[in-house]
Amino acid sequence: MADDVIDADELDPGFKYEISKQPGGENLKLCFQCGTCSGTCPVRAINDKYNPRRIIRMALLGMRKEVLCSDFIWLCSTCYACHERCPQNVRIPELMFAIRNIALREGNIHPVYKGYVDALDGHGRLLEVGEFENEKRVKYGLPPIAEEKERVRKIFHHTRIKDRTDGKLKGGEACATEGSK
Ligand code: SF4
Ligand code: SF4
C-alpha cells in the first residue's frame, strides 16, 4: 500500500471491536475526532510521528497492521494530559496500553521494553539497588531494599513476556513484512 493511500480491501473492520474488548480499550468508539488530545499531547509537540487522534482514527478504520506494527504506539508517555481534556472520556493512555497489549501478543514490542524486562528479570526492579544505594538509604534513615526478582520471575513465567522480548515465541511474522514505521 502506498504511504498515503488507504486500501479498503486491507482494512479489518473487526479491529475496533478487538481493541474495545481489551481492558482500557472500552471507550475507543466514543472518539469523535475533535483533535483535543493531539493539541494537548507533549509528545506530539516534539515528534509528529506520534499523534493520538490519528492513531485512534486508524484503529477505527481498521488499519490493524499499520497500527500494531508501528513504533508510534509505544511513544505515549502516559502523562494523562489528554485524559484531562478529552470530552468523550476515551481514556487515551489506557487505550494505548490496550493496543500495545495486542501488539505484544502479535510479537511486536519496542526494543526499549526489552531493556525494561531484562532489568526486571535481573534485579526485580527497573533500577539495580546494590550495596552503595543501601548504604545511602541507611544513612538517611531508610530501610535497605532487597532484590525481589523471584516474585517478578513468577509473573514472567505466567505471562511469558521475557520469552516474547527474547524472541523465543512465535509471532511478529505479520510485522516482519510490514516493517516498523
Ligand atoms: S480528545 Fe478524545 S474525542 Fe477528541 S480526538 Fe482525542 S480521543 Fe477523540
Ligand atoms: S497520555 Fe500519551 S497521548 Fe495523552 S497527552 Fe500524554 S503522551 Fe500524549
Output the domain CATH number for residue 15. Answer: 1.10.1060.10
Stretch 134-140: mean pLDDT, rounded? 95
* Cβ burial 72-97 (10 Å sphere, 16+ → b, else e): bbbbbeeeebbbeebeeebbbbbbbb
* pLDDT score, position 173: 61
DSSP string, 44-113: HHH-TT--HHHHHHHHHHT-HHHHHT-GGGG------HHHHH-TT---HHHHHHHHHHHHHHTT---HHH
**How many Cβ atoms from other residues are within 10 Å of residue 63's Cβ?**
20
Question: Is the pLDDT assigned to residue 180 strictly greater than 50?
Answer: no
What secondary structure letter does DSSP report for 128?
-
Task: Report the pocket of ligand 2 as residue ranges, CB < 6 Å.
Answer: 37, 40-41, 43, 52, 76-82, 92-93
Q: Is the CB of 32 within 6 Å of ligand 1?
A: yes
* pLDDT score, position 81: 96
Looking at the structure, do residues 10 and 74 belong to the same domain, yes or no?
yes
Could you identify the atom of ligand 1 that is nearest to the CA of residue 38? 6
Structural domain span for residue 19? 1-105
pLDDT tier, 1 (very low <50, low <70, confident <90, very high otherwise):
very low
Q: Write down the mean pLDDT value for the chain.
A: 89
pLDDT digits (tens, 9 = 90+) for 85-108: 999 999 999 999 999 999 988 888
Of 41, 71, 105, the residue that ends a domain is 105
Q: Is the CB of 42 within 6 Å of ligand 1?
A: no
Which one has a higher pLDDT value, 73 or 6? 73
Domain tally for the chain?
2
Stretch 6-15: mean pLDDT, rounded? 90
Distance from residue 129's CA to the centre of ligand 2 (Å) = 30
9: its cell numbers = 480491501
* pLDDT score, position 48: 85
Stretch 58-68: mean pLDDT, rounded? 95
Looking at the structure, do residues 81 and 167 belong to the same domain, yes or no?
no
pLDDT tier, 163 (very low <50, low <70, confident <90, very high otherwise):
confident
Distance from residue 34's CA to the centre of ligand 1 (Å) = 5
Distance from residue 50's CA to the centre of ligand 1 (Å) = 14
pLDDT tier, 3 (very low <50, low <70, confident <90, very high otherwise):
low
Question: Is the pLDDT assigned to residue 171 strictly greater than 70?
Answer: no
